[in-house]
Structure 1
Amino acid sequence: MGSVFYEKHFDDTETSVTANVQLIFPADRFPETAQHIKDAIASGESAICTIDRKGAEDNRKKSLHDVPTKKGYDRDEWPMAMCDEGGEGADIRYISPSDNRGAGSWVSNQVEKYPDGTKVMFIVK
């Protein structure tokens, strides 16, 4: 049984909410990435991702500049490089390439319909 994608859109009039969309991230499909997201948020990183696709390459360079590659692992970033909140100071964790790349592809597919500037709240379940 696959994970259910859930999103909630907020009206612009709901001023108490800081995100436009909630995205339920499937921990059962991508357990290493899910744990990294949960741990990073618990450590003070943002649960909100403001989509900034144009800034992704620069953010990735900034977040990974002093984190060496490790054979057999990917360097997972939270907040992700495509988030305005990403870049310098992002939380980095070594995880399996299949989990990291699968999660990245899944997130990309979920948010492709949203323009840059959309604030997405990640909820890991």
Structure 2
Amino acid sequence: MSNAIVAALEQAAKRVGLTLSKDAGRAVSGLYKDAGRGAEDVVQKFESADALHRKKFLDLLDEVGKEPKDGEKDYLGLGKTKASKVQSAKQDAVRSNVTRILDPEHAPAHDYEITVDSRKYPESAQHIQEAQSGTISRGNRQSAGAPKPSIVTIDREGEAANRDESLRGIPTAPGQDRDEYPPAMFEEGGKGASVKHIDSSDNQGSGSSMGTKLRGLPKGTKVKITVK
């Protein structure tokens, strides 16, 4: 690990009895190679953080820095000389997430933003707007309730459990899917989510688009969901 920021963070970790893994080192090198002063700030904030937040920070780097498997893409562009615009935006999102862990007082409200196109996915977009404004669906029934958040937190590990909770008691319908908002892949999904019957192709298309846009972003990333 010859990168200066990696070496500095490796030494900082040793001073508090922790180890910077190869994957974490790769993440640091890729995320902060052009970050200048920001890289020094990360080391300083790491040293001043408590044990829990230091571990969360290193766990995040481990996840981000994993080498892609054969046939997979490096969605953060960490192994490339110049990342694409999308990869650069995702790198910015991870750096924002780092700030949230090590310096929450100065963290932005969200790390990444995605937009659902109402022309391509009109029923999905309408459901998002309804749920965010407090019109909550349970199958074909709607009622007023607390607005669902536009900023949600990635938690793929909890997706299956969230989906079980949100869909419980909602029957299936021919030609339609049970669309969830917030989606099950976010911490805010699950019990109490708005679930609406919408056209299957609309739901699957918007879900696939969202999954592609979020691919590579780690657990804990704050995502703002908007509609255009």
- TM-score normalised by structure 1 residue count: 0.88
Q: Which deviations, in whole Å up to 9, do the C-alpha atoms of 1:43-62 show, x marking residues without a partner?
A: 00011121111100000000
- Report the alpha carbon displacement of residue 16 of structure 1 after superposing the two structures with TM: 6.8
Query: Displacement, 1:15?
Result: 3.4
Among residues 61, 69, 73, which one is paired with 2:164 in the alignment?
A: 61
Structure 1 runs, 4 residues or longer, greater than 2 Å off: 7-17
Larger Rg: 2
Distance (Å, rounded) in 2 between the aligned partners of 1:77 and 1:122: 13
User: Does 1:115 pair with 2:218?
Assistant: yes
More deviation in 83-92 or 63-72?
63-72
Separation (CA, whole Å) in 2 of partners of 1:124 and 1:15: 27
Q: Percent identity over the alignment?
A: 40
Count residues in correspondence.
120
Which ranges in structure 2 are unaligned for 5 or more consecutive residues? 1-85, 135-146
Q: Could you state the TM-score of these two structures normalised by the residue count of structure 2?
A: 0.49
Aligned counterpart, 2:111: 20
Displacement of 1:32: 0.4
Whose helix proportion is higher, 1 or 2? Answer: 2
1 CA distance for matches of 2:173 and 2:152? 27
Q: Higher relative contact order at CA 8 Å, sep ≥6: structure 1 or structure 2?
A: 1
Matched, 1:48 2:151: yes
Distance 2:118 2:225 in 1: 12
Query: 1:82 deviation in Å?
Result: 0.3
Structure 1 portions without partners, runs of 5+: none
Which amino acid in 2 is paired with 1:63?
A: S
CA distance in 2, matches of 1:39, 1:88: 18
More strand by share: 1
